[in-house]
A and B are shown apart, each in its own frame.
Chain A
Amino acid sequence: MDKESLTAPVKTAVDKFQLVPEFLKVRGLVKQHLDSFNYFVQTDIKKIVRANDRIQATRYPHIYIRFLDVRIGKPSITMDGSVEDISPQTCRLSDRTYAAPIVVDIEHTQGSPDNLKKEIKRNIIIGKMPIMLRSCCCVLYNRDEAELARLGECPLDPGGYFVIKGTEKVILIQEQLSKNRIIIDTDKKKNITASVTSSTEKIKTKTTILMEKEKMWLELNQFPKKVPLMVVMKAMGMESDQEVVQLIGRDPRYSLLLLPSIEECTKNGVFTQAQALEYLDSKAKRPMFQNTQAEKEGRAFSILRDVFLANVPVHEDNFRPKCIYVAVMIRRIMDAILNEDAMDDKDYVGNKRLELSGQLISLLFEDLFKSMTTDVKMVADKLLDKSDKAKNFDFSRILVSRDNISPGLERTLSTGNFEVKRFRMQKSGVTQVLQRLSFISALGQMTRVQPQFEKSRKVSGPRALQPSQWGMLCPCDTPEGEACGLVKNLALMTHVTTDEEEAPLISLCYSLGVENMEHLSGEELHTPDSFLVVFNGLILGKHRRPRRFATAMRKLRRACLIGEFVSIYVNEKQCCVYLASDGGRVCRPLVIADKGISRVKAYHMKELKDGVCTFRDFLRRGLIEYLDVNEENNAMIALYEEGATLETTHIEIEPFTILGVCAGLIPYPHHNQSPRNTYQCAMGKQAMGNIAYNQLRRMDTLLYLLVYPQRPLLTTKSIELVGYDKLGAGQNATVAVISYSGYDIEDAIVMNKSSLDRGFGRCIVMKRYVAVRQKYQNGTQDRILRPNRAADPGGNMQILDDDGIAAPGEIIKPNDVMVNKQSPIDTQTHGSIANLPDSAYRSSNSTFSKCHGGEVVDRVVLCNDKDSNMCIKLLVRHTRRPELGDKFSSRHGQKGVCGTIVQQEDFPFSEKGICPDLIMNPHGFPSRMTVGKMIELLGGKAGVSCGKFHYGSAFGEASGHADKVETISETLVRHGFNYSGKDFIYSGITGCPLQAYIFMGPIYYQKLKHMVLDKMHARGSGPRTLLTRQPTEGRARNGGLRVGEMERDCLIAYGASMLIFERLMLSSDPYEVQVCRKCGLLGYYNHKLKTGVCSSCKNGDQISTMKLPYACKLLIQELQSMNIVPRLKLANA
């Protein structure tokens, strides 16, 4: 007997699935957004205000205002001076911003400069902060379902977005490279560089050190050209070359590489700090405006102190930490030169930070707050200059009157253009309107991660799937086309960290035996076996027993004595211990294992199930911990407990959580070809279904709903976690896989007419129309009149109610009036406004011009907009049954249009009398390899026959979250079906059995938003563009159908010259011109003389009339305007 196997501890597999819903209960699907916003509201905003808490008058420094505290109040709105609490739903309906007041407590001086009193004022509102739904400031925070329903809110709605002027806006997660970290990379010339993007509250800079032509250089924005690094070292007080070498490390290879740089330095005649500073002064960029202080110290000195590696703090002009930092950078460059592996990967997720809404808003708020304080200061200074005002000067009054914070925040969130002048930061497209096409599309948008790269770059690296994305970012969910691989989505269990207090952690490190680098000589820094300890990119010092240190820190974390998201990562290659507590790191929970034995036992799970303990308790008891991407490198993670070995340190909670929300809907995704899952991720967002429980109370511009949405017969665990089973977007259709009628080629599907009659695929399209009763400058305003139905020549007033607005429930005909509105003709001159005669008004009806027939007025909502004009919103509903050309898709990226609709009696039927709802062509399978769809069919069939929902979670067969095909087949056999799901089918047309067994069963089908009704278009004659007189383009403008280049080529090849002439000239833009045969220029037709005249020959002798396209005439004239003379030479044909 093997001794080891005997002593090995006993393993038992525990179903850890329950942890996933518990996790989502605690963290929620969009918890990253909420956490980030909560952090901003609770902590960050206070920090910002504390950092800029004092405004004082320039001339009288003792007149000041000091912010004592800042808070966010309850979401409310001020209407005519009274404050009213608001709910998000009222904001959506009435086009308002869901915002809460920013309340400050201030201390300020009161009275004249000579006689000052201190006064404390509380609860002063300085602006309004848009509130993220479901955040801690929101009225929906911690409400139960009944309370949410009372507020008109859907309990399944995740929140995490803002309501700005009635539209829901999401701040997308932004992906960036890590700040304050050394990244070794190569530049365009293949030089090895080490770059640090420093980011502090004051400044954001980028410092690059590179090795070019064997010498080290520094690149910094403030130096127009790169400067020798050794000079910089000397300028920072590192005068001795030996010390530099010692700092980098005594390895002779390092010194060899450093030698040319040192020589360069001597060649430049720089030996002392003073010389070096002088040298750098000459290289530095001349500042735009004189800064006296910087001038005094020397420009180079201030650059080195404030700009160069700004993340490394300089206390009392002590440059030593910066020198060490530079030395570490040089050392890493040299490592990379000596050993290719030491290069950093920019695409590695551990080198990425996700910037969330909280961070972006805090940046914005800081900027706005600062500009507000300077603004207040300026006004105060101006007031204080006038001696009479200064007597009784009240600072707080100015503060209240200056509100640029609320419009600033509102504007930025509604346009998505972030502009922070201090950092010269300009981003557009940061916010997006929340897509309410389906429940999943909204959720999918919340987890979307937008890259900072420009999309046009043709590099494959950032687009490729990174191994480090495992468990953090969904491998399936990415768009196709230009943003492929750049736009990513978070996985189900991902958490994005927020900032954590640094100071206690740093002092903890020192007390755990980190030797402060200030006390170390260069020689000691890199002694073998000692590791540098780097905290958030800052070198703290070194530790002689790094592994022990890391274990100690981890123990503290597991005991919840330090934050659960602090990551400790021992990098053996770089001899560093990296600690991170900064925000924006992605991490995920994992079960801790000791020597391969999971700490989570069955009784733990039982307690969890019974509700005795929660996910938090698991964290607190040290059963589970969060690992970020870097720390994962120190862990050995087993997928299942069975696969754990003695080295295993962690065990995955559930394998399907590597997928995101959208990919989680796919049953058996692990049986599909991977692009198919990607296609489905894109298509799931276009599927119609239920949007939210409050969908019928919403007034969106466009809303697609399914009349009878169903829950998928073949579900996954993700579906239940997300709530897709409650807000489905599709129907379970019985599908027969046969080739039928030939109208099913190229993925088209044949539909059963009776199924459609019974409501399959029926959908509702709701469209919003708005009419505004405008108020004008002169006090007049539009009026809405009671319609005179009797005298209604066009019959367009029939649907109007007595109030002059279309009545709910009325069926709309084309050109029907929606609001019987009249506007005053004169809106400029002031005069008697009351009782304007009828003649002073003109009709300004809004009508329903485009109409398919069958549209119904669903609802009418009246509200006031921000200028207190009455706003009439009409929701028009159109119920549509599927028709030829409507797009459908299964959950496996298999989309197809409806090719034909066939009577039920012509449809094949099975021995049990089952007639399929739709027929799919079998040719869709071989090339697509969507085996998952076949298993879905089997599972669905087994499900309907045994009355139980079957599961198809990703990778779920091993853990029992997906039914195995064998068990499904057994169920099928038990209910008298063939094990392979193939039935004996009779043809509905001949009545004879078909000569093959047919694969038939239910598959969940989604109706996609693309419908022919919205797309079909044809025209005979119609509008033309003004400039070229050619037919307009596009369906919206009732445009023509273009005979393009290729079509033209075909006609040329065929020789159909008259057809080309007709299409390109007669049907497009024929024009008659007068051409002078003599000079070849265009003339004009003189209607008086009834002849053509050439304006350059000044006569009409040799004028011919010819036809040519108007575009050609235009070209000739445009050329003439550019001093090019095109002449037409006419000849008899």
Chain B
Amino acid sequence: MSEEENSMSEIENQEQNGGVPDYIMDLEDVPSKLPSHLQVLKTRVICNMDAPQHTDTLQYSGVYAALRVDNSVRLDSFCNNFKVEVKRFTDDDIEFDMIGIDPAIANAFRRILIAEVPTMAIERIYIANNTSLIQDEVLSHRLGLIPIDADPRLFEYPDNAGGENNEKNTIVFKLHVSCKKGHPRITVKSDALKWLPNGSELIADNTKPNADSKAKTFTSFSCSQGSRPEFSKKPPGPYNLDIILAKLGPGQEIELEAHAVKGVGKTHAKWSPVATAWYRMLPEVILMKDVKDDLAEELVSKCPVKVFDIEDIGKGRRKATVVNARACTLCRECIRGGQEWEDRVALRRVKDHFIFTIESTGALPPDVLFTEAVKILEDKCERVITELS
């Protein structure tokens, strides 16, 4: 009990002093680092055959106080250690390593990417005619899920305009396809969606058309979107032009107008800018013992993703080495086959090294998506700070 109280008071001391007193650190027998076995537990997830161990991170600054080790998060060390390395970058996806960050923060980015980065998606559909087989709701649902290639940063949320649909918050598309009688069936694809820069062409019939003023449509654009320079370069439209929307038989017709608005994935998955975004912790495969000769061969053949390779160590002897730990999918094949294999190979995950993958749906390039996510997190933090102060 007394020890505990002591330690408690020490912690208080530390907090008062803003950390470990300097004189203690100066003493010779005080360890400045954790012992290696604890260091492993702190920084690695141990993936045993039966279950992963030590998966969580220790947030509390004083967890290792008894060992005189400070566990507090320090901005300077974060700044020094944090690294981002892009491994793969294409139009649609990006894979990068995020090193030196807590899983909670990495996860925050993932969550924001999925649910809070806005995009444009079709929200309202005005069907003038649909004689096709597909039901109105189902067609609307399909249209809604089409990724729209329009930069959401150029638009406002619809609630800002007080329910009015203007050129700042709505993109209008038209779809008018028909299959003539006597012709074979046609497939309607997303390329049939045509952008209407001047807004809706359908007349809202609940208002009486006045003779003098123009008939009221479903949008009230004050100017054409086509005049905006961003759009003159690249008009908005579906990102993929080969999404099948419907099939029309002879004599069938679809005529509709689709209004895309800005929204976030939290409300509906159609606004999610990513197909998915996820991370995995960097695999670490360690051979605890030397695996030689036939065993080495066995080990190499066991792994389906070629993590191991064989190294000649002379005299006709061979030794297994880890060459591509990053490829490990944690199928645990290498440690299957008894305790002795579990003793030979240790599968681990580095807790602060994330291999982050973002698959964009197309509205924004994946790298922009990530910076957007960072901005949103920044905003949130600022909001918290302002709320607190």
- Return chain A residues, CB-CB under 8 Å to B130: 809
**Does A458 make an interface contact (CB < 8 A)?**
no
Give bound CA distance, A596 to B216, whole Å.
86
CA distance A759 to B145 in the complex (A): 10
Q: How far is the CA of A979 from the CA of B280 in the complex (A)?
A: 20
Q: A978 near B330 (CB under 8 angstroms)?
A: yes
B269 close to chain A: CB less than 8 A: yes
* Residue A764 at the chain B interface, CB threshold 8 Å: yes
Q: Which B28-77 residues have C-beta < 8 A from chain A?
A: 45, 47, 51-53, 55-57
- Nearest to B267 among chain A residues (CB) is A757
Q: Chain B CB within 10 Å — which of A858, A911, A997 has the most?
A: A911
Sample of 21 A–B contacts (CB below 8 Å): A757-B268, A759-B141, A762-B138, A879-B137, A905-B110, A909-B278, A911-B329, A915-B276, A915-B278, A974-B304, A975-B304, A983-B330, A984-B47, A984-B330, A986-B278, A990-B104, A991-B108, A991-B110, A992-B57, A993-B45, A995-B51
What 1/0 mask marks residues of chain B from 95 to 121 whose CB sits below 8 Å from any chain A CB? 000000001101110110011000000
Q: Tell me which residues across on chain B come within 8 A of A59, comparing CB atoms.
A: none
* B333 closest partner in A (C-beta): A973
- Cβ-defined contact, A856 with B136, below 8 A: yes
Binary flags per residue of A33-53, CB closer than 8 Å to B gives 1, else 0: 000000000000000000000
Residues from chain A with Cβ under 8 Å of B111 in the complex: 905, 988
Type the 1/0 row for A852-869, where 1 means its CB is closer than 8 Å to any CB of B.
001010100000000000
Q: Report if A848 contacts B (CB, 8 A).
A: no
CB proximity to B under 8 Å, residues A900-958: 903-905, 909, 911-913, 915
Instruction: Tell whether B353 is near chain A: CB-to-CB under 8 Å.
Output: no
- A762, A913, A979, A988: the one contacting B331 at CB < 8 Å is A979
Chain B residues with CB under 8 Å of A905's CB are: 110-111, 114-115
Are the CB atoms of B272 and A991 closer together than 8 Å? no
- A234, B281: Cα distance in complex, Å: 99
Q: How far is the CA of A912 from the CA of B331 in the complex (A)?
A: 12
In the complex, the chain A residue whose C-beta lies closest to that of B47 is A984
Interface residue A322 (Cβ < 8 Å from any Cβ of B): no
Contacts of A990 in B (CB 8 A): 56, 103-104, 107
Q: A726–B227 Cα gap in the complex (Å)?
A: 50
Contact with B along A979-1008 (1 / 0, CB 8 A): 100011010111111111100000000000
Contact A858/B135 with A754-B269, A903-B266, A993-B349 known, Cβ cut-off 8 Å: yes
Assess the A992–B56 pair: CB atoms within 8 A.
yes
A: residues with CB less than 8 A from B are 696, 707, 753-754, 757-759, 762, 764, 809, 854, 856, 858, 877, 879, 903-905, 909, 911-913, 915, 972-979, 983-984, 986, 988-997
Which chain B residues lie closer than 8 Å to A986 at the CB level?
107, 278-280
**Contact status A707-B55, CB under 8 Å:** no
Q: What band does the interface of chain B fall in when counting residues whose beta carbon is under 8 Å from A?
A: 35 or more
- Cβ-defined contact, A994 with B331, below 8 A: no
User: Given the known A-B contacts A754-B272, A973-B304, A976-B329, are A995 and B52 also in contact in the complex, defined by CB atoms under 8 Å?
Assistant: yes
Distance of A680 from chain B, by nearest CB (Å): 29
Interface of B is mostly: mixed
Task: Report the minimal beta-carbon distance from B227 to chain A, rounded to whole angstroms.
Answer: 34
**Which residues does chain A contribute within 8 Å of B135, judged by CB atoms?**
764, 856, 858, 877, 879
* Bound: A854/B141 CA distance, A: 14
Q: Which residues of A contact B51 (CB under 8 A)?
A: 995-997
Interface contact B332-A978, CB-CB below 8 Å:
yes
- Asked whether, in the complex, the Cβ of B332 is within 8 Å of the Cβ of A993, the reply is no
Q: In whole angstroms, what is the CA distance A854 to B145 when docked?
A: 20
Query: Which residues in B have some Cβ–Cβ distance to A below 8 Å?
Result: 45, 47, 51-53, 55-57, 103-104, 106-108, 110-111, 114-115, 127, 130, 133, 135-138, 141, 145, 265-266, 268-270, 272, 276-281, 304-305, 329-333, 336, 349, 357, 359
**Are B136 and A904 in contact (CB-based, < 8 A)?**
no
Q: Are B52 and A993 in contact (CB under 8 A)?
A: yes
Q: Are B278 and A973 in contact (CB under 8 A)?
A: no
Query: Which residues of B have CB within 8 Å of A759?
Result: 141, 145
Chain B nearest Cβ from A423, distance in angstroms: 51
Q: How far is the CB of B71 from the nearest CB of chain A, in Å?
A: 16
| Cβ of A606 to closest chain B Cβ, rounded Å | 38
- Closest CB of chain B to A695's CB: distance in Å? 11
Find chain B residues with CB under 8 A from A753 CB: 269
Q: Give A912 to B278 CA distance when docked, in angstroms.
A: 8
B52: nearest chain-A partner, CB-CB: A993
Nearest opposing residue in chain A for B283, CB measure? A911
Contact between B269 and A995 (Cβ–Cβ < 8 Å)? no
Q: Is the CB of A978 within 8 A of B127?
A: no
Bound complex: CA of A916 vs CA of B104, how far in Å? 21
State how many angstroms separate the Cβ of A733 from the closest Cβ of chain B: 15
For the complex, give the distance between the alpha carbons of A904 and B357 in Å.
16
- Taking CB atoms, residues of chain A closer than 8 Å to B305 are 976
Check A988 against B272 for contact (C-beta < 8 Å): no
Distance A838 CA – B130 CA, assembled complex (angstroms):
37
Inter-chain contacts of A707 with B (CB < 8 A): 138, 141
Contact of B52 among A764, A854, A973, A997 (CB under 8 A): A997
Question: When the two chains form their complex, are residues A994 and B55 in contact, meaning their CB atoms are under 8 A apart?
Answer: yes
Point out the residues of chain B lying under 8 angstroms from A915, CB to CB.
276, 278
Contacts of A989 in B (CB 8 A): 107
- A324 to chain B minimum Cβ distance, whole angstroms, is 70
- Cα distance A856–B138 when bound, in Å? 12
**B residues within 8 A CB of A903?**
115, 266
Q: How far is the CA of A994 from the CA of B53 in the complex (A)?
A: 9
Which residues on the A side are within 8 Å of B280 (C-beta)?
Answer: 911, 986
The 9 lowest CB-CB distance pairs between A and B, nearest first, are: A991-B107, A757-B269, A976-B329, A754-B269, A913-B278, A991-B103, A905-B111, A993-B55, A879-B137
Q: Which residue of B lies closest to A974 (CB)?
A: B304
Report the minimal beta-carbon distance from B146 to chain A, rounded to whole angstroms: 12
CB < 8 Å: which of B47, B133, B304 contacts A696? B133
Q: How far is the CA of A51 from the CA of B270 in the complex (A)?
A: 73
Q: Which residue of A lies closest to B106 (CB)?
A: A991
Query: Closest Cβ of chain A: how far from B372's Cβ, in Å?
Result: 16
B318 to chain A, nearest CB (A): 24
CB contact under 8 A between A984 and B304, given known A757-B269, A976-B331, A991-B110: no
Bound Cα distance from A915 to B272, whole angstroms: 14
CB distance from B94 to the nearest CB of A (A): 13
CA distance A984 to B141 in the complex (A): 34
Q: Do A976 and B114 have beta carbons less than 8 Å apart?
A: no
Q: In the bound complex, do residue B114 and residue A904 qualify as a contact, i.e. CB atoms below 8 Å apart?
A: yes
> In the assembled complex, which residues on chain A have CB atoms less than 8 Å from the CB atom of B277?
913
Inter-chain contact A992/B329, CB cutoff 8 Å: no
- Once A757-B269, A903-B115 are accepted as A-B contacts, the answer to whether A879 and B304 lie under 8 Å apart by CB is no
Of the candidates B52, B107, B115, B138, which one forms a contact with A994 in the assembled complex, judged by CB atoms under 8 Å apart?
A: B52
| Chain A residue nearest to B336 in the complex (CB) | A979
Q: Which residues of A contact B45 (CB under 8 A)?
A: 993
Question: In the bound complex, what is the Cα–Cα distance between A904 and B111 (angstroms)?
Answer: 9
- Measured CA separation A809–B253 after assembly (Å): 14
Min distance, Cβ B305 to any Cβ of chain A, angstroms: 5
- The CB with the most chain B CB atoms within 10 A, among A757, A809, A977, A990, is that of A757
Across the two chains, which residue of chain A brings its CB closest to B127? A809
Q: A754-B265, A903-B266, A996-B51 are in contact. List 13 more A-B contacts (CB 8 A).
A: A753-B269, A758-B145, A856-B137, A879-B137, A879-B138, A904-B115, A909-B276, A973-B331, A976-B331, A984-B52, A990-B107, A993-B52, A993-B349
Chain A: which residue is nearest B133 at the CB level? Answer: A696
Q: A130 to nearest B CB, angstroms?
A: 32
Q: Which residues of A contact B329 (CB under 8 A)?
A: 911-912, 976-977
* Min C-beta distance of A874 to chain B, whole Å: 15
Chain A residues within 8 Å of B110, by CB: 905, 991
B133 near A993 with CB under 8 A, answer no
A106 CB to closest chain B CB (Å) equals 50
A707 to B138, CA, bound (A): 7
Assembly CA distance A976 to B332 (angstroms): 9
Are the C-beta atoms of B357 and A913 separated by less than 8 Å?
yes
For residue B270, which residues in chain A have a CB less than 8 angstroms away from its CB? 757
Inter-chain CA distance A992–B103, complex, in Å, is 6
Most chain B beta carbons < 10 A, residue from A974, A975, A983, A986? A986
